[in-house]
Amino acid sequence: MRASTLKSNDTCWCGSGKKYKRCHKSMERPPVARPVRPGRLSPWREVPEAIGRPPYAVSGDPGPRRNDDAVKSPEQLVRMRRAGAAAAEVLMEVGSAVRAGVTTDELDRIGHEGAIARGAYPSTLNYHGYPKSLCTSINEVICHGIPDDRPLAEGDIVNIDVTVFLDGVHGDTSSMWAVGDVDQASTDLVRVTREAMFLGIDAVAPGRPVNVIGRAIEAHARAHGLGVVRAFIGHGIGEAFHTGLQIPHGYEPTATTTLLPGMTFTIEPMLTLGNPDHVLWDDGWTAVTTDRSRSAQFEHTVVVTEDGADLLTVTEDGRSAAGPWLGLPAV
């Protein structure tokens, strides 16, 4: 049952067992006054010939996802740390431009040029035909928002998702930004989503099943009355943008793949103030919440170590975009 059809004394949709009025109703916002709408796209951005390209850069077809490269070699991990650092740098560079009046297309330009300046290819460009060099997901957009001529507005929250292809491997990371002053519910949503991502990362250890990640994320989300998007998940990554390894962000009993040292994948929970179900725009990419409640996401690429996990999408001195939001410490 969707939140919009629930009465105050009905059982809450989130599964807590509590009455709606005592659980999720107080945290939900009504649909935004001005829902996000598709804007106009700028022309395709070109990549210099000297930049190394992933196999799909021309065809748009990455081919089938493979499962045979889950554990990376030491040499591959060296390259993945370089790609991850470049992605972290580009993401922070793009995020520094976030303010009211700036279009998401301008953010895409900054990210595109930032990747090229580091000798990297923006991984999303022409991946299954995606037309831009990063994703910008505003307010009720859960993920895969396409940059266009819509200017950011005071009170918006926006996720910026950057992936770069460098030295034959991909680095993938995303973070939230606030546009000016935002309401308390959105502030809490972003804070809890960031916390949930790091709790998922903290759950990683060799020998554990992959579902410990989603268990930790979902428990934290439910404790704060937030919805967990299950339709979009983390993924294996390396020489391929997406491998067959899947990382659910909710607890999935059947997700029993054993975590092994050297595995690399993304952890990227998407939490919502309302119903976590989604619909797609006609562009085939942009996913928005069915009730138009706000959504937030953070993402790091990690590697399983002998005793936990290391972040790969951080700069050489250990910084990432996940730290500056609301003055939280850099991580």
Please say whether the beta carbons of 259 and 52 come within 8 A: no
Check if the beta carbon of residue 72 is closer than 8 Å to that of residue 264. Answer: yes
Q: Is the pLDDT of residue 298 over 80?
A: yes
Asked if 111 and 134 touch (Cβ cutoff 8 Å), the reply is yes
Per-residue pLDDT, 2:
45
Query: For residue 67, what pLDDT is reported?
Result: 73
Task: Give the tokens for residue 310.
Answer: 């290391």
All domains of the chain in start order, with CATH: 63-327 (3.90.230.10)
pLDDT single digits (tens) 307-321: 999 999 999 999 998
Tokens encoding 317: 């001195």
Q: How far apart are CA 28 and CA 280, in angstroms?
A: 21
Do 109 and 264 contact (CB within 8 A), yes or no? Answer: no
How far CA 52 is from CA of 69, 167, 181, 317, in Å, comes to: 21, 7, 40, 25
Which pTM value belongs to this model? Answer: 0.88
Per-residue pLDDT, averaged over 68-95, amounts to 95
pLDDT at residue 14 in the model: 74
Q: Around Cβ 151, how many Cβ atoms within 10 Å? A: 15
- Please write the tens of the pLDDT for every residue from 1-46: 444 456 667 788 777 777 765 576 555 554 444 899 999 999 999 9
Q: What is the mean pLDDT of the chain?
A: 92
Which DSSP symbol is given to 56? H
Least confident residue range of 63-72, 86-95, 165-174: 63-72
217-265: per-residue pLDDT in tens? 999 999 999 999 999 999 999 999 999 999 999 999 999 999 999 999 9
CB 196 within 8 A of CB 106: no
Could you tell me which of 262, 266, 245 has the C-alpha nearest to residue 67?
245
144 or 5, which is more confident: 144
> pLDDT tens for residues 77-87?
999 999 999 99
Distance (Å, whole) CA 250 – CA 264: 19
